[in-house]
Structure 1
Amino acid sequence: MAFEPLKGLRVLDLTSVVVGPVCTARLALYGAEIIKLESPEGDLMRGLGGQSPTGRHSGTYLHLNRAKRNICCNLKLPDARKIIARLLETCDIVVANMRPQALARLGLDHETVTRAYPGTIYCLITGYGLDGPYSGFPTYDSVIQAAAGIPGLVAARDGEPRYVPMVMCDHVVGEIAASSIMAALVERSNTGKGTFIEVPMFETMANFVMQEHLAQHSFVPPVGPAGDQRLLSADNRPVRTKDGWIAFTVNTDKQVQAFLDATGKGDLKADPRFATVRARADNVRAWFAL
């Protein structure tokens, strides 16, 4: 039996590209009815990547927008706004990742919507939040990766800053937005009232990678170098073997003893650098170099 805790709920999806569609795809997976609004030009992701035989959408677009209903609407036209108003009357949730200024011009900002429909849960995904010097700036995954210092972590390991080769921030923030909406649904079941949720991409990702950046610098004064040294070791990677690559990890003392025996390094079991979890943490680069 399908797990559909959101069945019976309707979502107006005012999102595009990746981060917003990730959020609404999660809600769809849990049974919500998603009505995705697209402009006549279509979502940008329709044209990025390998195209379907019809030439109307890419594989990426299909992954992000599966199990959704679509409506094409030019919101600059009065008749289109009437259609959206009728949809809002029946929607429990609105998710948007347009810039706040554009939403306000269209009368679809959270103040206008929640005032007219007080039971609505409105989730706005922004780049940098509604306040501050970067408020309203457009952004994409790679920009947020850089702002959160993710290429810097790669540079600390490999010597050169690079992006993670996936839209990591879009996926993480989209999932956080979906979980925030579900928390708001619990609150609405208790209070009968909707709510406004803002999910800034930068703040979300800064929190997400904070431990990886700080580690021993979480203390004042620092008790060691910044960053998780296990993750920053260039030797922390899959290992080449005669017939391919192998991925493994050993963490507990018992696992380490078995690993050293299996790899013919049993003599190192008595090495004080590797005898305990604490000792291996203090000598992490030497440990991974094995």
Structure 2
Amino acid sequence: MFSRLAVFFQMPFVRYAFIVGILIALCASLLGVTLVLKRFSFIGDGLSHVAFGAMAVAAVVGLTNNMFIVMPITIISAVLLLRTGTNTRIKGDAAVAMISVGALAFGYLLMNKFPTSANVSGDVCTTLFGSTSIITLKEEDVWFCAVLSLVVVLAFIFFYNKIFSVTFDENFARATGTRVSVYNLIIAIIIAVIIVIGMSLVGSLLISALIIFPALSAMRVFKSFKSVTICSACLSVFCAAIGILVSILANTPVGATIVIADIAVFGIFTLIGGFRSGFKS
């Protein structure tokens, strides 16, 4: 098994996929705790569908670098979704559902009416599930992902205290002088960046699993915000590494394999949390 992995890792695209997978998993886990606590767990799925629609538009207009369309549209949608609250006519979960379904339908319609290749179904499958895009990465894609990941990690560390206060009680944070809208904007931008770079790993349908499962797993065992965040990051990186290695050895889809690893870890941590609760009682 190890000799086979050694042979595979001599290939540049395998090394690129492993590096990008680890970076994306790390970034995705950082704000997963915040989204779960703010009850926006489904926002990753909604934004990924928005990115899917934006990618379809970029393909139709013939852009060689679709980031010029995908990134701005996803960021704007993230800002709009996080601004929805109890004082709006359309609540947050309804807004996510509307944008998610609408963008997915719009993108699929465009890809069917203006196909960029003879295999439309294959293009849609690749975009939704990330089945082949992760193995077509180039060195410049790795550097691009590394730079964005560094920005995300540094932004989270630098604004950690403010993100913590905004996550638990926006009203109290506002009363203490925190500019809640500014930090919600920062959170929205970071989430959008994570979604866009994460789609190359698991596709638009599975990216929310990378964001939510590690946070939920960590919450089964740990209680403090810092402990949950650190544990979530470690679990996310571990599951991404295991998922990529298993997909190489078993010839399974990378994205789906990583998500299955996340689900298995969630089950294990749920059992651990249950045993700990039983011992305390």
Asked if these proteins are the same fold (TM beyond 0.5), I'd say no
Normalized per residue, which structure has more strand? 1
Q: Looking at both structures, which has the greater relative contact order when contacts are Cα pairs under 8 Å and sequence separation is at least 6?
A: 2
Q: Which structure: greater helix fraction?
A: 2
TM-score, normalised with respect to structure 2: 0.31
